[in-house]
Every structure is written in C-alpha cells, then in structure tokens.
C-alpha cells in the first residue's frame, strides 16, 4: 500500500504523531484516496492552524470517508471553532456523515 513517492499509510500516521503538519497537508493533496484518508486521519494529532483550515476544507470533500475522517480529527483536536462548519453536514445525504456530524457537534459542545 504505497502511495506517492513510496509513502505508506504507516509513515503518514507517524508524521501525525510527530506533529509534521506540512507533510500531512502535502499528503492530503494526493490523488490516491488511501493516502489522502491516512493524512486526514493523522491530522487529528496536529494542533496547527493550517491543518485546521485543511480539515475544514475536507468537510466539503466529495468522499464521505474524507468528511468523516475530517470530523474525527476535528473532534480529536477538541476544536470548538469547528462546530459551525460541522453543522453544515447534519443534513448530508449520506446518513453516516450526518450521524457523525451530530456526534461531533454534541461532543464539542460538551467540552
């Protein structure tokens, strides 16, 4: 499961653990869905304004998996600023996305 330039999902997860936001942002721009998804998931470990902004952008992605991963990462970051953005997904046509949006909003509002 190697993506761009031999980058694996495991390596991307390590970037998240090490707080390498710039590398994760580049990986999130990959054309390979598994690399993008791994990067968005790993961003939940990086408290950085650019990472936050990209996660907000990912909420508008076509892929339900990317939307869900972005919401999970925003939840991990405990980012109250994300609530208004996540609210737009409560009525998403994909029920998993809509359910995750409700869960994340409830969680962030309780923090």
3-state helix, strand, coil in the chain (%, to 5): 70, 0, 25
CA–CA dist 39, 31 (Å, integer): 12
Give per-residue pLDDT as tens, 4-55.
457 899 999 999 999 999 999 999 999 999 999 999 999 999 999 999 999 9
What six digits make up the tokens of 22? 């710039």
Average pLDDT of the residues in 85-105: 98
β-partners of residue 2 are 8
Give mean pLDDT, residues 69-75: 98
Number of structural domains the chain divides into? 1
Structural domain of 16: 4-110
What pTM value is reported for the model?
Answer: 0.92
DSSP secondary structure of 72-111: HHHHHTT-GGGHHHHHTTTT-SSHHHHHHHHHHHHHHHH-
Mean pLDDT of the chain: 93
Q: Count the Cβ atoms, other than its own, within 10 Å of residue 21.
A: 21
**Domain containing 18 — which CATH number?**
1.25.10.10
What pLDDT score does 109 carry?
92
Distance between CA atoms of residues 21 and 43, nearest Å: 7
pLDDT at 94 exceeding the cut of 60? yes
């Amino acid at each position: 499961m190697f993506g761009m330039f031999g980058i694996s999902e495991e390596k991307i997860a390590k970037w998240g653990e090490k707080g390498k936001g710039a590398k994760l942002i580049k990986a999130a721009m990959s054309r390979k869905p598994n690399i993008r998804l791994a990067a968005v998931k790993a961003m939940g470990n990086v408290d950085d304004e650019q990472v936050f902004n990209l996660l907000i952008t990912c909420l508008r992605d076509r892929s339900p998996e990317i939307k869900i991963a972005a919401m999970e990462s925003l939840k991990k970051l405990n980012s109250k600023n994300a609530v208004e953005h996540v609210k737009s997904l409560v009525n998403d046509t994909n029920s998993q996305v809509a359910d995750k949006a409700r869960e994340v909003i409830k969680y962030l509002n309780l923090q």
